[in-house]
Amino acid sequence: MAAVISHGSSANSAPLEEVVLAVERRLRASDRLLLGLDEELEILAELQKFPLGRFLLRNQGLNGYWTSYIFRFEPGRPTSSPMEEWLLTRSLLSGARERFQRSREEIARSITDGAVLASVPCGVMDDLLRQDYGSAPGVRLVGVDLDTESLALAEEEARARGLGDRSEFIRADAWDLGINAEFDLLVSNGLNMYEPDGDRLIELYRNFARALRPGGRLLVSFLTPPPPPPWEAPQRAAEWERYGIAEEDLRRELALFGDIIQAKYLNFVSESDTRAQLERAGLTVESMNYSDGGVLPIVSAVKPD
């Protein structure tokens, strides 16, 4: 059955006050909080003061709009509150923003005139829409997502950027694309990390492989297993430096997304398992693009001719 697996639906979730009361009750009853109770209640209070915080509390994850809000943020720009400033600049969300920029650069290298480029799930489709198509006027863009609100925003953005007549948006489940040999490039960010079942990941990649033309390329980001937190494994503390997050910020991050928001579970897959899953789906892995610190990889794989 088609299901949005990255975030809850505001339409279905309880009013914010009820969510907050339930979180507060849960925090007060817990004897395993990462920070002191007062500090966690303070974070809960701060999260209610700005729209991104309220969305996270109600939906336990990010939709296309808020992913785009985080990726478009430029450090130094004003924010709604100190907590939002912290989230946008010092939490692991800034690593996701760095990866988004790397992904855009990889996409730019694959743009050729007449190519058909797809983003699945597209969200607001910043990855494809924020590109320079000056030398590729014949390019076609396709965005696929299950969320109608994201699709409408992506369509609006495409029109605003003068790419409306070259873009097509399709509401579909990424596991049931039903597209055969149409795309020269398929980009996928922010979906596989919500899927815990390895067989389902292979099935997802098979859908992507089927949608690619022979010789077409898949660019997909994935999350490798992080080291244990430094307070549990001090001997591995240096590994966290690669993520560019200080220990006090990591503790706050895990308290906020774990204890308080109980974010939809993120799944981690090693590089070797991701390679094996892509090969099983019929793709040939060509390269792995890691951050300067050696984390947050983007894999590039091609469909054999």
Ligand X SMILES: C[S@@+](CC[C@H](N)C(=O)[O-])C[C@H]1O[C@@H](n2cnc3c(N)ncnc32)[C@H](O)[C@@H]1O
User: What are 75's two structure tokens?
Assistant: 């450090």
Residue type, 126: D
User: What are 187's two structure tokens?
Assistant: 């980009």
Smaller CB distance to ligand X: residue 27 or 186?
A: 186
Q: Specify the stretch interacting with ligand X by CB under 6 A; choose among 46-54, 120-128, 134-142, 265-273.
A: 120-128
Helix (H, G, I), strand (E, B) or coil at 302: strand
**If binding is defined by CB under 6 A, does position 93 make contact with ligand X?**
no
Query: Residue 121: is the preceding peptide bond cis (ω within 30°)?
Result: yes
Among 40, 84, 157, 173, binds ligand X (CB under 6 A): 173
Helix (H, G, I), strand (E, B) or coil at 284: strand
**If binding is defined by CB under 6 A, does position 6 make contact with ligand X?**
yes
Q: How far apart are CA 163 and CA 176, in angstroms?
A: 26
**If binding is defined by CB under 6 A, does position 121 make contact with ligand X?**
yes
Among 107, 129, 174, 255, binds ligand X (CB under 6 A): 174
User: What are 169's two structure tokens?
Assistant: 């948006």
**If binding is defined by CB under 6 A, does position 143 make contact with ligand X?**
no
- Give the binding-site size for ligand X (rule: CB under 6 A): 22
Residue 126 and residue 100 in contact, taking contact as beta carbons nearer than 8 Å:
yes
Smaller CB distance to ligand X: residue 62 or 256?
A: 62
Backbone angles phi, psi at 247, to 5 degrees: -60, -40
**If binding is defined by CB under 6 A, does position 84 make contact with ligand X?**
no
Q: Tell me how far apart the terminal alpha carbons of the chain are, to the nearest angstrom.
A: 32
Burial profile 104-128: b = 16 or more Cβ within 10 angstroms, e = fewer: bebbeeebeeebbbbbbbbbbbbbb
Smaller CB distance to ligand X: residue 64 or 216?
A: 64
Q: Which helix (H) or strand (E) holds 215?
A: strand 212-221
Q: Specify the stretch interacting with ligand X by CB under 6 A; choose among 44-52, 186-194, 206-214, 228-236.
A: 186-194
Among 60, 150, 192, 277, binds ligand X (CB under 6 A): 150
Query: Residue 234: is the preceding peptide bond cis (ω within 30°)?
Result: no
Q: Specify the stretch interacting with ligand X by CB under 6 A; choose among 81-89, 108-116, 187-195, 273-281.
A: 187-195
Q: Specify the stretch interacting with ligand X by CB under 6 A; choose among 30-38, 47-55, 62-70, 83-91.
A: 62-70
The least CB distance from residue 66 to ligand X, in Å, is 8
Q: Specify the stretch interacting with ligand X by CB under 6 A; choose among 108-116, 184-192, 210-218, 269-277.
A: 184-192
The least CB distance from residue 71 to ligand X, in Å, is 6
Residue 274 and residue 298 in contact, taking contact as beta carbons nearer than 8 Å:
no
User: What are 70's two structure tokens?
Assistant: 């985080």
**If binding is defined by CB under 6 A, does position 116 make contact with ligand X?**
no
Q: How far apart are CA 300 and CA 29, in angstroms?
A: 46
The least CB distance from residue 231 to ligand X, in Å, is 29
Binding site for ligand X (CB under 6 A): 3-6, 62-64, 67-68, 121, 123, 126-127, 145-147, 150, 173-174, 189-191
